[in-house]
A and B are shown apart, each in its own frame.
Chain A
């Protein structure tokens, strides 16, 4: 396999990893705030903080890994995205900064404060919205290259139905993924009250998720027909995604097999995400960068791949240890440790 395929596969896997772990985190922030204003925080907020405390930093590193890896494997992407994303990128940084630090301030520092919790909830929805613009822009049509450099067409971006449908999809997916995970976590913690409440959230957010996926498909067919047609060639992948959605919904509705339900949710997004990614190729940024032209030189490509394999050998056992300690240790989850 050539370096561009290895590179894009690695990056896409990590972006998928970030999609899942960050969605759990972002959604949990929203639910924590929502529970607070509806006076049900005593039911779920302990549970949420028990899961999130040990892992939020790891979540952030997934993101850093993705953009550093992107610069490494595809340096041209640094140029085009860097030139154009100054404003949405900066806004996303500020939101991430506020969220991460205030989370630590509240959790390790002072008492609960409504302001912190509000920021924590609001940023959980705004960050995915800001980050999703990078994917929107990659579809082309929002960037102009002139002799003075490349520029973002802000008005086109803000008035495009496609762009808004992606934002909508990002937000509802976050809430759906998070609710499904927390249902499972509450079940493991044997916390019946929390389970009942979060299970309702999960069921509630399932239908907007599937509706948003459909609208995005339709908007895509209007915005970038070529990409839409390539997506249609992968129809079976998206079909698989819908099938896993139904499986997850069925389990949660039945109130059984919450672990399997969450695995089905992960597969639902895995299929959709890789279907989208595969049909996006060969373009990284339509029509300016393709993976084969934008790829880094061979010696750096080889060095990065070796570094990646060595890094994984270190990382996987450590991640496994972390999950053993906090995710699958029933006593810890139940709050006995």
Chain B
């Protein structure tokens, strides 16, 4: 009865590893930037609070990096173990950015090691800050390179297929395919946004529970201000991504927006349900907005799903993934704007409990938006693994043991996930910021004591 399907199992295992890795990868790309900003402000303003902030973030960061590195190694190997036929093709056409990525890792790893162990080694603090620049660049470059590979899977180019042989291969053309610019922009801006959101959430939570000091208030201002800027960038990048889809991957946009018939002045459907005869019900309908999202004009024509062959249509449930992602994007923008407005006027209190709770929730939500966004993008590519050239089923391994490996990795990620949480909690609980401030900079904490 039950036929073993290594394709499904391979998909499940790939999804599992990627959903886990992307959490740490996102932190790995965004947090170095925040650390670097904090340390720079500390040096500029001669304010030890910011330096301490950078130090404490760094200490948490190395733990998450470790998990990012090991899960990244896992996904790197798994790609060959689970998708051998796909990697054979990919190796011929798109291995250049994968290869370049390893140099970015090297670069980042080397300077991260140097940054970690040299806080007090330089006479000028600025020299230490300079070490953070290569870490930021290395992390963002690795995101750039891996994203070009993913972009290639969506809009492959830079080769010709004659039967089973590849000819006229152009690695640069493959790397800079039509999906690359918008994807890279959106992936980077969301990684920065999410990292700022997670750091802000932790700070806000601490203020709620323990009545934070000046240190925490400065941290919150810095992170929420960053959220606002990156949320704006994210919305722009998301809009550009939709315009890219309309032009190059209309089936993904159509499935994501439940846009069945090609028409001018298309409405944007938000949430809703599908009846049995594929009628949209219970939706919020924004007239002509889809045309604007897709083309920048309210009466532009948008391709509907009817033009796509049945067996090449992505599943329709990705609609919800898209809507949730966009909602969270506007939520981040709104909450950070509210905080900034309240902070502008002396009369109002931006450390209002309600607002702080909204900021706390924003952290996990942003991480969820990353997951939703990826599921939307990846499932929206179905049934293709290499759009137009190779279907998922043709790329998978034929080995009959993927199910056991799935169980093995599920257990591994469970242990790693629990481990990270436990270790991070211990790390900061046993060493609160106030205590560390007093140990490292006794003059300042005495001044503050006098003021209060």
User: Within 8 Å of chain B (Cβ to Cβ): is A102?
Assistant: yes
Q: Provide the bound-state CA to CA distance between A311 and B141, in Å.
A: 13
User: Within 8 Å of chain A (Cβ to Cβ): is B83?
Assistant: yes
User: Within 8 Å of chain A (Cβ to Cβ): is B126?
Assistant: no
Which B residues lie within 8 Å of A148 (CB)? 398
Inter-subunit contact B81/A89 (CB<8 Å): yes
List the one stretch of A23-31, A34-42, A196-204, A321-329 in contact with chain B.
A321-329
Given the known inter-chain contacts A86-B81, A93-B73, please indicate yes or no for A72 contacting B399, CB distance below 8 A: no
User: Which of A145-161 touch B at CB < 8 Å?
Assistant: 148-149, 151
Q: Provide the bound-state CA to CA distance between A285 and B101, in Å.
A: 26
Inter-subunit contact B397/A86 (CB<8 Å): yes
What does the 1/0 interface line of A101-122 toward B look like (CB < 8 Å)? 1111100111000000000000
Which A residues lie within 8 Å of B73 (CB)? 60, 63-64, 93, 96-97, 100
The closest CB in chain B to the CB of A151 belongs to B399
CB contact between B88 and one of A61, A78, A92, A108 (< 8 Å): that residue: A78
Inter-subunit contact A75/B92 (CB<8 Å): yes
Inter-subunit contact B88/A76 (CB<8 Å): yes
The closest CB in chain A to the CB of B404 belongs to A87
Inter-subunit contact B102/A68 (CB<8 Å): yes
CB contact between A322 and one of B71, B110, B397 (< 8 Å): that residue: B110
Which B residues lie within 8 Å of A307 (CB)? 96, 99-100, 103
User: Which of B395-437 touch A at CB < 8 Å?
Assistant: 397-399, 401-402, 405, 408-409, 412, 415-416, 419-420, 422-424, 426-427
Inter-subunit contact A297/B62 (CB<8 Å): no
What does the 1/0 interface line of A60-98 toward B look like (CB < 8 Å)? 110111011101101110111111111101111110111
Which B residues lie within 8 Å of A311 (CB)? 100, 103, 106
List the one stretch of A51-59, A217-225, A249-257, A259-267 in contact with chain B.
A51-59
Inter-subunit contact A75/B102 (CB<8 Å): no
Given the known inter-chain contacts A75-B95, A297-B92, A307-B96, please indicate yes or no for A101 contacting B67, CB distance below 8 A: yes
User: Within 8 Å of chain B (Cβ to Cβ): is A135?
Assistant: no
Inter-subunit contact B74/A97 (CB<8 Å): yes
Which A residues lie within 8 Å of B405 (CB)? 86-87, 90
Which A residues lie within 8 Å of B83 (CB)? 82
User: Within 8 Å of chain A (Cβ to Cβ): is B63?
Assistant: yes
Given the known inter-chain contacts A89-B77, A94-B409, A109-B63, please indicate yes or no for A68 contacting B93, CB distance below 8 A: no
Distance in angstroms from A334 CB to nearest chain B CB is 14
Which A residues lie within 8 Å of B65 (CB)? 57, 104
Which A residues lie within 8 Å of B424 (CB)? 109
Inter-subunit contact B77/A65 (CB<8 Å): no
User: Within 8 Å of chain B (Cβ to Cβ): is A303?
Assistant: yes
Which B residues lie within 8 Å of A321 (CB)? 110, 114
Which A residues lie within 8 Å of B177 (CB)? none
Q: Provide the bound-state CA to CA distance between A61 and B308, in Å.
A: 43
Inter-subunit contact A319/B110 (CB<8 Å): yes
The closest CB in chain A to the CB of B103 belongs to A311
Distance in angstroms from B125 CB to nearest chain A CB is 16
The closest CB in chain B to the CB of A55 belongs to B113
Inter-subunit contact A71/B117 (CB<8 Å): no
Q: Provide the bound-state CA to CA distance between A261 and B91, in Å.
A: 41
Classify chain B's interface size: 35 or more
Which A residues lie within 8 Å of B95 (CB)? 68, 71-72, 75, 296, 300, 304
Inter-subunit contact A303/B110 (CB<8 Å): no
Inter-subunit contact B426/A110 (CB<8 Å): yes
User: Within 8 Å of chain B (Cβ to Cβ): is A315?
Assistant: yes
User: Within 8 Å of chain B (Cβ to Cβ): is A318?
Assistant: yes
What does the 1/0 interface line of B102-145 toward A look like (CB < 8 Å)? 11011101111110111001000000000000100000000000
Inter-subunit contact B69/A60 (CB<8 Å): yes
The closest CB in chain B to the CB of A296 belongs to B92
Inter-subunit contact A71/B91 (CB<8 Å): yes
Interface of A is mostly: helix
Most buried by B among A89, A98, A101, A104: A101
User: Which of A126-148 touch B at CB < 8 Å?
Assistant: 148
CB contact between B98 and one of A63, A68, A76, A103 (< 8 Å): that residue: A68
Interface of B is mostly: helix
Given the known inter-chain contacts A75-B95, A90-B81, A296-B92, please indicate yes or no for A64 contacting B76, CB distance below 8 A: yes
Which B residues lie within 8 Å of A53 (CB)? 113, 116-117
Which B residues lie within 8 Å of A54 (CB)? 113-114, 116-117
Distance in angstroms from A151 CB to nearest chain B CB is 8
User: Within 8 Å of chain B (Cβ to Cβ): is A1?
Assistant: no
Inter-subunit contact A109/B427 (CB<8 Å): yes
Inter-subunit contact A57/B92 (CB<8 Å): no
User: Within 8 Å of chain B (Cβ to Cβ): is A314?
Assistant: yes
Distance in angstroms from B143 CB to nearest chain A CB is 16
Q: Provide the bound-state CA to CA distance between A63 and B105, in Å.
A: 12
Given the known inter-chain contacts A97-B71, A297-B166, please indicate yes or no for A61 contacting B408, CB distance below 8 A: no
User: Within 8 Å of chain A (Cβ to Cβ): is B14?
Assistant: no
User: Within 8 Å of chain A (Cβ to Cβ): is B87?
Assistant: yes
Distance in angstroms from B7 CB to nearest chain A CB is 13
Inter-subunit contact B106/A67 (CB<8 Å): no
Which B residues lie within 8 Å of A105 (CB)? 63, 66, 419-420, 423
Given the known inter-chain contacts A75-B88, A297-B166, A300-B169, please indicate yes or no for A67 contacting B76, CB distance below 8 A: yes
The closest CB in chain A to the CB of B113 belongs to A54
Inter-subunit contact B170/A71 (CB<8 Å): no
Q: Provide the bound-state CA to CA distance between A104 and B25, in Å.
A: 16
Q: Provide the bound-state CA to CA distance between A66 and B172, in Å.
A: 22
Which A residues lie within 8 Å of B134 (CB)? 318
CB contact between A304 and one of B71, B96, B118 (< 8 Å): that residue: B96
Q: Provide the bound-state CA to CA distance between A149 and B84, in Å.
A: 11
Which A residues lie within 8 Å of B42 (CB)? none
Distance in angstroms from A224 CB to nearest chain B CB is 24
CB contact between B92 and one of A89, A97, A300, A319 (< 8 Å): that residue: A300
Most buried by B among A67, A82, A91, A299: A82
User: Within 8 Å of chain A (Cβ to Cβ): is B78?
Assistant: yes
User: Which of B9-25 touch A at CB < 8 Å?
Assistant: none
Distance in angstroms from B233 CB to nearest chain A CB is 28
User: Which of B359-376 touch A at CB < 8 Å?
Assistant: none
**What are some 8 contacts across the A-B interface (CB < 8 A)?**
A53-B113, A54-B117, A78-B91, A82-B80, A86-B397, A90-B409, A97-B74, A110-B422
- Give B contacts to A, CB under 8 Å: 59, 62-63, 65-67, 69-74, 76-78, 80-85, 87-93, 95-96, 98-103, 105-107, 109-114, 116-118, 121, 134, 166, 169-172, 397-399, 401-402, 405, 408-409, 412, 415-416, 419-420, 422-424, 426-427
List 5 additional A-B contacts (Cβ < 8 Å) besides A68-B95, A90-B78: A61-B106, A71-B91, A78-B80, A86-B399, A109-B423
- Give A contacts to B, CB under 8 Å: 53-55, 57-58, 60-61, 63-65, 67-69, 71-72, 74-76, 78-87, 89-94, 96-98, 100-105, 108-110, 148-149, 151, 296-297, 299-300, 303-304, 307-308, 311, 314-315, 318-319, 321-322, 325-326, 332, 337
8 A-B pairs with the lowest CB-CB distances in the bound complex, closest first: A75-B91, A104-B66, A82-B84, A72-B95, A109-B423, A311-B103, A82-B80, A54-B113
